[in-house]
Amino acid sequence: MSGYPSLSVPPESGFFRSRWVDPPSGIEFHDPSSLAVGFRAAGVSCGIQGSGATDLGAVICDADEVSSSILLTANAAAAAPVRVCRENLDQSGIRAVIVNSGNANASTGDQGILDALAMRDELASGLGLAADSVAVAETGVIGVPLQMETVLGGIPDLVSALAGHTASQGAARFSEAIMTTDKWPKRVSLSVDGITLSAQAKGAGMIEPGFATMLCFIQTDALVPEPVPVLRQAVDSSFERITVDGQMSTNDTVLLQATGTSGRELPPGLLDAVLLQLALEIVSDGEGASRVGRARVTGAADPEEAEMVARKIANSPLVKTALLGRDPNWGRIAQAAGHALAGQDIGELGPDVIEAEDIAGDGREADLTLRLDQGDAEAHVYFSDLTHEYIVINAEYTT
Amino acid sequence: MSGYPSLSVPPESGFFRSRWVDPPSGIEFHDPSSLAVGFRAAGVSCGIQGSGATDLGAVICDADEVSSSILLTANAAAAAPVRVCRENLDQSGIRAVIVNSGNANASTGDQGILDALAMRDELASGLGLAADSVAVAETGVIGVPLQMETVLGGIPDLVSALAGHTASQGAARFSEAIMTTDKWPKRVSLSVDGITLSAQAKGAGMIEPGFATMLCFIQTDALVPEPVPVLRQAVDSSFERITVDGQMSTNDTVLLQATGTSGRELPPGLLDAVLLQLALEIVSDGEGASRVGRARVTGAADPEEAEMVARKIANSPLVKTALLGRDPNWGRIAQAAGHALAGQDIGELGPDVIEAEDIAGDGREADLTLRLDQGDAEAHVYFSDLTHEYIVINAEYTT
């Protein structure tokens, strides 16, 4: 409908395909259905999504000792599984995670909490783990009670599937189990410098409450003695830097599990590169997205202002439609920046301080840079274009 | 393209047609090409827009004494005419205003300031007024120098047209002169309780830098001894409460001129009702808009939070596409509210605290109400839906 070719296709040229990602050298890629050493995963069809779709999955770490960190949405109306992970989980020793797709178990009240606890307890029991060492994540429709018979009925199959897999198998079906509107699975399995690392993500839109949410699970046998700041920093430069439609999900979850059995530390930059590429896959697979832009602001008075301006540009529907239209419309960038700093006076902004040239080309990625002269802070945000398909998905296919 | 009937038609049932506007009783409407007693207006074609469109206009107050107030955009990258009105204008004694459409004279640097001063001076000279008693407003493309020979060439015609009109005439051509992408003129002329009042507005999108901006001019012979707080309050409950695409123009201007010759004060609620109806006309004429929603939040902790939540709902592309799709999708409202208050915990929000029923009907106006239980503050924001036409206008018809 847009008149532009759709570029929404799965990765065709290796995992680290974005110009903005700078992975360490020496990486060896593995079959993406494999996992880091010491982890198993599985996915089964329990019937939440219907039509035989894989909709219930789990990852388990075989090592007794695990170093973990979990980041949860800041949404003030967070879903039941997020509340359970906040309040009833040993966040530094997460052995396993159970995930379903098709129902977010959000806005489901006290029953939602009980249901999230029950599915977690059932998996913990089947695997012989302490209940508070199992995380739970859910994605799908908001406001519909979880079909507990369906979910609980699937857990024995899930436990059997986990037992049946050899170590380091099952990531493929687990990836399927966490997908909703995703057009392609987002996952990687690699080794470098004597460690192995695997990751699986889902998301196509920061939020689409008909389906929903960004989830990411990372497994490694590297030593990660300080998992909380390590994950926080990698997420700050990846999942916290993307926007599809400026919305924040009730269910977003990122989980890092590290066994340390390799005896080696994570190579510098590896986790950042993996999470940034996965984040960019999510933007690229954003609802209706055909292109990805990077809005970069330099010369801001302080980091907060740099961030505010970059976000206002990235979320401007005028900039997003200009990205679709191959229109290097610097006036829209100037207007968005002036809006972000409303009440201040930064003078008029002309084409001399705005670079938006590669927006006019047919490449999948485009850079927009605004140079302010207020200081030396900078920030950037990755965003998708706004297309007819976004409206079709969100206005016309709802029930 | 959307599959829904376009409701973007001019007013057919009187000026105060919105359910949300509550005008005082006893109003008599006049031919909208007339003005309040003691004012003259005119519009001419000087050639900025080309193809003979009326693109240069002025309003003058015949009384020597005038009580006035002007509100200007807070955009940090404000346009030249806004800077001239901020710095070189006697804001409490504005006798006349000159306006052009087709060029916003924004991001035009020092030359833009000189050009805005020159067009203002030329009109002041032609009318025998002090230069600092004349305001200037412009709307149109950003970043293109004003064609000064064209503009200055049109001013003698404008002065002649003002002289040729009898008192209280010329609002029709002035309304045309300020229009850009507007589908219909937004104006009213009325009398009530012994006073007369007229107003002309333009805007179709908070900003569309290809064209652009919200402008509004109000004339009255009522006594308005405190024009600054009177205008501020009426704008706070009208133009400050609307959003089409969450963008803020570099050129927004609202001007109130009051002669006081009637010897009567403004009836309570009149200015608020006129500006709210004009603001709703702008939303209703928003780029691609087919429906107008009111996002109302009650029970917030304080007015700032109520406002933040209402704006996040009103600007959510998911809520805007739900308004288009007649989809009473309360999950999207819950998600937007939770996002607005990110970092807090307001519990899960269910359908019991959200009313979105009339969204499912075919009416032009729909109410969405969210009841929080954090306190007793409330706020509301009017917004348009997000349609295919918005993308067509902003992605496909740019140059």
Is residue B356 situated within a structural domain?
A: yes
Cα–Cα distances in angstroms (integers) from residue A320 to residues A334, B141, B260, in the given order = 14, 19, 48
Which of these three, B284, B315, B339, is where a domain ends?
Answer: B284
Residues B300 and B374: their CA atoms lie apart, in Å, by 5
* Cβ neighbours of A332 in B, within 8 Å: 209
The Cα–Cα gap between B14 and A306 comes to 47
User: CA of A72: how far to CAs of A99, A123, A231, A311, in Å?
Assistant: 14, 21, 12, 21
pLDDT at A1: 29
Q: Is residue A3 part of a domain?
A: no
Whether A231 has a pLDDT exceeding 50, the answer reads yes
Average pLDDT for A33-60? 93
Give, for B248, the enclosing helix (H) or strand (E). none
Chain A, nearest residue to B205 by Cα: A318
Query: Which carries the bigger pLDDT value, residue B134 or residue A334?
Result: B134
Integer Cα distance of A41 and A57 in angstroms: 7
Same domain for B178 and B94, yes or no, is: yes
**Which of A19-23, A78-82, A102-106, A139-143 is least confident?**
A139-143
> Is residue A74 included in any domain, yes or no?
yes
Higher local confidence (pLDDT), A211 or A236: A236
- Domain end residue (candidates: A234, A253, A284): A284
Residue B17 included in any domain: no
Q: What is the nearest CA distance from A319 to chain B, expressed in angstroms? A: 9
Determine, for residues A398 and B325 on separate chains, whether the beta-carbon distance falls below 8 Å: yes
Write out the two tokens for A375. Answer: 């200081």
Residue A121 burial by Cβ neighbours in a 10 Å radius (0-12, 13-18, 19+): middle
The pair of structure tokens assigned to B383 is 């917004």
Lowest mean pLDDT among A167-181, B9-23, B364-378: B9-23
SS3 assignment, position A53: coil
pTM here is: 0.79
Residues 6+ apart with CB under 8 A from A304: none
Whether residues A280 and A296 share a domain: the answer is no
Q: Is the pLDDT of residue B233 over 90?
A: yes
Mean pLDDT of B20-37: 92
Most confident of A7-16, B181-190, B243-252: B181-190
Which tens digits make up the pLDDT trace of B367-389?
999 999 999 999 999 998 888 88
Which one of B339, B391, B398 has the shortest CB-CB distance to A248?
B339
On the question of pLDDT at B303 being above 90, the answer is yes
**With contact defined as beta carbons under 8 Å apart, do A69 and A256 qualify?**
yes
Q: Please report which confidence band the pLDDT of residue B76 belongs to, taking 50, 70 and 90 as the band edges.
A: confident
Q: Do A247 and B316 touch (CB under 8 A)?
A: yes
Q: What whole-number distance in Å separates Cα of residue A106 and Cα of residue A208?
A: 13
Q: List the CATH number of the domain containing B40.
A: 3.60.70.12
Residue position matching structure tokens 């189990």: A177
Considering all CA atoms of chain A, what is the largest pairwise distance in Å, rounded to the nearest integer?
Answer: 66
Choose one of A221, A256, A284: the last residue of a domain: A284
The pLDDT value recorded for residue B4 is: 33
CA distance B177 to B46: 10
Q: What amino acid is encoded at B30 in this protein?
A: H
Classify residue B389: in a domain, yes or no: yes
Q: How buried is residue A83: exposed, middle or buried, by Cβ count under 10 Å (0-12/13-18/19+)? A: buried
3-state secondary structure of A394: helix
Question: Would you place residue A246 in the very low, low, confident or very high pLDDT band (cuts 50, 70, 90)?
Answer: low
Q: Are residues B280 and B319 in the same domain?
A: no
DSSP secondary-structure letter at A395?
A: I
More confident residue, B360 or A266: A266
Checking if the pLDDT of B290 tops 80, the result is yes
Residue B54: both structure tokens together: 């009326």
Q: Do B278 and B354 belong to one domain? A: no
Domain match, B71 and B217 both: yes
Q: What is the DSSP string of B286-328?
A: STT---EEEEEEEEESSHHHHHHHHHHHHH-HHHHHHHHTT--
Q: Is the pLDDT of residue A247 over 80?
A: no
pLDDT of residue A318 exceeding 80: yes
In a domain, residue A19? The reply is: no
* 3-state SS class at B151: helix
Cross-chain CB nearest to A76 (options B327, B329, B341): B341
- Helices B303-315 and B330-340 cross at an angle (nearest 10°) of 130
Query: Token pair for residue B66?
Result: 């005038």
Whether B105 has a pLDDT exceeding 70, the answer reads yes
* Higher-scoring residue by pLDDT: A156, A359: A156
Q: Tell me, yes or no, whether A227 and A91 share the same domain.
A: yes
**What is chain A's mean pLDDT, rounded?**
87
> Do B317 and A321 count as a contact with CB atoms less than 8 A apart?
no
Using alpha carbons, select from B391, B181, B397, B248 the residue that is nearest to residue A313: B248
A236 & A311 share domain: no
Put simply, the answer to whether B141 touches A325 (Cβ < 8 Å) is no
pLDDT of residue B179: 87
pLDDT band at B7 (very low <50, low <70, confident <90, very high): very low
Q: How far is A378 from chain B (nearest CA, A)?
A: 18
Q: Which two tokens stand for residue A134?
A: 């199992």
Together in a domain, B81 and B227: yes
Task: Catalogue the active-site residues of A.
Answer: 213
Q: What is the pLDDT of residues B337-377, one digit of tens each?
A: 988 898 888 888 888 888 887 888 888 899 999 999 999 99
The answer to whether A386 and B391 have CB atoms below 8 angstroms apart is yes
Q: Which one of B108, B181, B213, B220 is the catalytic residue? A: B213
pLDDT tops 70 at residue B260? yes
How many CB atoms are closer than 10 A to CB A240?
A: 16
pLDDT tens, residue by residue, A386-399: 888 878 777 765 43
Whether A127 and A273 map to the same domain: the answer is yes
Average pLDDT estimate for A331-335:
85
Rank A39-48, A278-287, B277-286, B379-388 by mean pLDDT and report only the highest: A39-48
Partner-chain residue, chosen from B109, B210, B346, that has the shortest CB–CB distance to A350: B109
Q: Measured between beta carbons, which residues in chain B are less than 8 angstroms from residue A390?
A: 317, 321
The total number of structural domains in chain B stands at 2
Q: What is the CA radius of gyration of chain A?
A: 21
Q: What is the CATH number of the domain that holds A355?
A: 3.10.20.340
Burial A296-325 (b: 16+ CB within 10 A, else e): bbbebbeeebbbbbbbbbbbbbbbbbbbbb
Q: Is the pLDDT of residue B206 over 50?
A: no
In the residue annotation, B387 being an active-site residue is answered as no
Determine the pLDDT at residue B309: 94
Average pLDDT across chain B, whole number: 87
Q: Are residues B266 and B308 located together in one domain of the fold?
A: no
Instruction: Find the distance separating the first CA and the last CA of chain B, reported in whole Å.
Output: 22
DSSP state at residue B34: -
User: Is residue B56, in this structure, part of any structural domain at all?
Assistant: yes
Decide: helix, strand or coil at residue A370.
strand
* A161 and A222 inside one domain: yes
pLDDT exceeds 90 at position B393:
no
What is the distance between the alpha carbons of residues B314 and B333, in angstroms, rounded to a whole number? 9
For residue B309, the enclosing domain spans: 292-396
Confidence label for A212 from pLDDT (cuts 50, 70 and 90): very low
In a domain, A18, yes or no: no
Q: Do A270 and A390 lie in a common domain?
A: no
Around Cβ A264, how many Cβ atoms within 10 Å? 15
Contact yes or no for A339 and B391 at CB 8 A:
no
β-strand partners of A29: A190
